[in-house]
Amino acid sequence: MPEKIASGTQNLPIACRDCFHGWRGQTLRCPRCRSERVVSHPRLFELSIAHIDCDAFYASIEKRDRPDLVAQPVIVGGGKRGVVSTCCYVARTYGVRSAMPMFKALKLCPHAVVIKGRMDLYVQEGRRIREMMQALTPLVEPVSIDEAYLDMSGTEALHGAAPAMTLMMLQKKIETDLGLTISVGLASNKFLAKTASEADKPRGFFALSIDEAPAYLADKSVRVIGGVGAQFEKKLNADGIRTVGDIQKIDLKTMARRYGETGMWLHNCAFGRHDRKVDPSGERKSVSSETTFNEDVSDPRTLEDILWRLSQRTADRAKESGVEGRVVTLKLKTHDFKSFTRRVSLNEPTQLAQAIFRAAKPMLAREAAGQRYRLLGVGISELVDARADALDLADPQ
C-alpha cells in the first residue's frame, strides 16, 4: 500500500523527483512511476526562491573520476600542515570537517584517502553548473564555486512548469550529465532557502515557507542564522540565547536595545523574515589567495617572497573575474592557530600585483618580528568593475 499523509492534509501538492509528475492528494508514492522520491508541501508549487548547493563538491568530482574511491573516506586538501578543503560524507561520519587542520582530520580518520585539489577542474565544472542555472533564470546569485541563489519568479510561463518542477529537472540533469549531485532548498526568501538546502543533504530537496519558519527554526542553534559566527555565538550564549526559539521569546525593542541593528536583524531572521533580494551582481565580495606552509616560517625575507607570489596569484584571479579592489587585506595564522587580519584602503581600486604587494608589504613587515607563521594570505575587497586600460608590468602578457 502506498504511504499516506496524515489525515487533514488532503489535496496537498506533491511532486515526483524521478518523473516530474505533479499532483494533489494523499499518497506519497508517485502514481505514474511508483517512485517514493517525492516532495510534498502546502506551497510547493508557489515558492520561487532557491538555494542550490553542490554536495561535497571537490570530493564528489574526485569520486566520480575514480570509481574505486566511491566507498572510501576522501579528503581534498594539502599536506599534513595544510587544511581540509572539503571531504566526502563518509569522512564526515568520522568528524572530519572543511577548514579543519589536516593533522586533526587524519587523527580522526587515519585511513582517509587524501587528494591534492584540482582547482582548474573544479572551476570548470562549477561554471558548467552555473550555466545550467542561468538557462533557467537570469536571476542567479553565485555565492561560491559550488553554491548559488536563484529567483525563479515568473519562470513558470517560460518553462511550462512550477519552479519546484524545473529545479527537480535541473537536479536530474546535473546528475545525468555531470555525474554530480546537488541539494536544493526552495523557500520564500534567501535565508529560508539556505536553511532548507541544509535540511536534506546530500541529494536533497526541501521546501520551507515563511508561515512555518518560526516553528521549524525554534529548536535550531543561533548559528543557523548566517552571519552569526563563533564569537557572536559566545556573546549570545552568555546572554542566555542559545536557540532561535530563545530569540523569538524576546521582543524586538529589547533585541534592538541590546544589540542595535544586529538585534533587529536577528529578530527578523528568527521569524523567517529576510528581505534581501537575489542579486546577480553580488557574485564576489573579495578576491584572495593564501597558502599554508609545510613548516612554520618566521624569516621576514621568506615571508615577503611568499607575499609577492600570492599577490601575483590574487591579481591573476581578479583579472579573470574582471574586478578591482579598493581594500587590501593581509591574513596571517600563527604557529598556535591564532588568526588575524590587517587592512589598508587605497586611493584607487586595483587588480595589479605590484600595487597589492606594495600595500601589503608594510603590514607584513610590522608583524614579521620573530613570530612563527603557518599561513599567509592576501586579498582585495570592496570590488568594482575593472578598467579596460589597466597595465600590470608584473604580468608578462
Active-site residues, by number, are 147
Q: For the chain, give me the number of helices (H) and strands (E)?
A: 14, 15
Find out whether 290 and 164 touch, Cβ atoms under 8 Å.
no
Q: How many angstroms separate the CA atoms of 201 and 220, rounded?
A: 17
Q: How many angstroms separate the CA atoms of 171 and 180, rounded?
A: 9
Please list, residue by residue across 96-110, b when 16 or more beta carbons sit within 10 angstroms of its beta carbon and e when fewer do: bebebbbeebbebbe
Q: For 248, which DSSP code?
A: H
Q: Is omega for the bond preceding 202 within 30 degrees of 0, making it cis?
A: yes
Virtual torsion, Cα 109, 340, 349, 321, nearest 10 deg: 0
Look up residue 249 and give its amino acid: K
| Percent helix, strand and coil across the chain, each to the nearest 5 | 35, 25, 40
Find out whether 222 and 236 touch, Cβ atoms under 8 Å.
yes
Q: How many angstroms separate the CA atoms of 141 and 151, rounded?
A: 9
Q: How many angstroms separate the CA atoms of 297 and 79, rounded?
A: 16
- Is the Cα torsion angle 5, 6, 7, 9 positive or negative in sign? negative
Radius of gyration of the chain (CA): 24
Virtual torsion, Cα 293, 299, 302, 303, nearest 10 deg: 70
